[in-house]
Amino acid sequence: MTNETKYDIIFVVPRYRAKDGFIWKAIEYRFQSPGVLSLATYLNSRGFNTAILDCNLEQISDDDFISVFNERFGTSDYKYIGFSAATQTINSAYILAEKIKSERSKVQILFGGAHPSALPEDVLKNNFADFVFLGEGELAIEKLLLGEEIENIKGIAFKRNDEIINTGPCERISDLDSLPINDYSLVPMKNCKPLVGTYRKLPATIMVTARGCPGRCTFCSRVVGNKLSVMSPQRIFDEIKVLYYNYGFRQIIFYDDTFISTRNRIEEFCDLIINSDIKISWTCSSRVDKVYPDLLVKMKMAGCHQIMYGVESFNAQVLKNINKKTQPEDIHFAIKETQKAGIEARAAIMLGNPGDTIEILEDNIKQLKKLNPDLIQVTITTPIPGSQMFSEAMTHNQILTYDWDKYEGSDQIVKHENISFEELQKYYRKTYIKYYLRPSFIFRTLFKANSFLKIKVLIIGGFSIIPVIFSGLGKRKKRK
């Protein structure tokens, strides 16, 4: 329904659609945008009025966007519309922004998120783009809405005549506890759909409890910076209480880059959960060199059932090449200790890292089968804008495509020094097939399926492998 409300800003999140043949296509998932929710909640708490149209959470296609937007906001008064986009969704954001601008030329279009923060000048080349907010947007957007001089607002890029002006890095929020708990009523949380294999209970949603990452991996986008800002254990617990009691969520998937970044914080958080009536299940991600056996036991007691580790490679030189600052023995220790604590271990590995060879890719498969994590996640190394890898490849004219839709982990973005793209595609499929279609893995997994929900997840997960297998068969058939 249309309304005549006056909004200071309307936020739009574009829809992400995985390509055919990519494993994420078969196991599509969707959640609220924690960053956009934080922006809207913060601005509302400061006396502004905002709204969110989350096309990803609501599964609104680019074709249907303008009709849905006009139905909800056609008679509303607003000056700004903010688009939040990652690299994989920036093209969709462009399409939506152009549609808005063509109908309401006086509306000013803001862009934010990982991709615009990394390449503000590239975004501002578009006629429909007026501003780009760099990194965290709460403080900078607040100042814009208050009418401060744009040149004096840190963390913003904008056009003036034919010149693009960048005011420099944004002002970081060091204490995340100072931000209000997200107002989840701003989006339809009932639409959340978790990734297959990441949940034990339903309904499930995500939380982000930290910003920034102290790591220096060359493939990671660091648009927020390396300084780590975190929520306190009590603040995490307070937000979980809202999700648990007010919205009925029983599974939390922590989306922090490395949740176990500060041991004491996680230990205190686990104590709060253990000593409460809240019975949630949860998962998180971690580096393999941030593993403490006694903490794993406590995490298990607090409801943690899975940890995803950024393995990337089992080769010491490759790990050095991507500045991972971990060793193969760290990987073995992390996965073994995690499973010993009764927590599932998910190993994320990348193919086509600098220094990779066919022999190394074969050894990765061998090591995975030997170590036997509960789940694996495979991607082709993708230099995302904002990463050191992308900057270096751009400087040396090694980028093969700037079609941002291809930056999702299944396409070749940079020509590899040792391995052809056809071979990378082959090993992308081969790693999944050789690992998941082993009789020992199948029997072990079936043996652990002790509930209807687990059986359902297994069936969906099994079907998700099929497009990976047959996409390869189709391509080989065409070449004959």
Under 8 Å CB-to-CB from 49, ≥6 apart: which residues?
5, 6, 7, 8
From CA 412, how far away is CA 428, in angstroms rounded? 12
Domain 6-166: which CATH number of 3.30.365.10, 3.30.70.980, 3.40.50.280, 2.60.120.260? 3.40.50.280
Every domain of the chain with CATH number 3.80.30.20 lies at 194-479
| Per-residue pLDDT tens digits for 326-382 | 999 999 999 999 999 999 999 999 999 999 999 999 999 999 999 999 999 999 999
144: its two tokens? 């814009």
Every domain of the chain with CATH number 3.40.50.280 lies at 6-166
DSSP string, 111-152: EESHHHHH-HHHHHTSTT--EEE-S--HHHHHHHHTT--GGG
From CA 134, how far away is CA 364, in angstroms rounded? 37
Q: Indicate whether 474 pLDDT > 50.
A: no
| Per-residue pLDDT tens digits for 407-419 | 988 888 999 999 9
Domain 194-479: which CATH number of 3.30.230.10, 3.40.50.11140, 3.30.450.20, 3.80.30.20? 3.80.30.20
* pLDDT value of residue 479: 36
Report whether 71 contacts 1 (CB < 8 A): yes
In 3D space, the residue among 276, 363, 278 whose CA is nearest the CA of residue 315 turns out to be 363
* pLDDT value of residue 20: 58
- What is the pTM assigned to this prediction? 0.91
Q: Quick check: helix, strand or coil at residue 4?
A: coil
| Per-residue pLDDT tens digits for 214-257 | 888 999 988 887 788 999 999 999 999 999 999 999 999 999 98
Q: Indicate whether 456 pLDDT > 60.
A: no
Q: Where are the beta strands (DSSP E) in 357-458?
A: 375-380
| Per-residue pLDDT tens digits for 125-149 | 999 999 999 999 999 999 999 999 9
> Looking at 195-199, 226-230, 258-262, 362-366, which range is the least confident one?
195-199
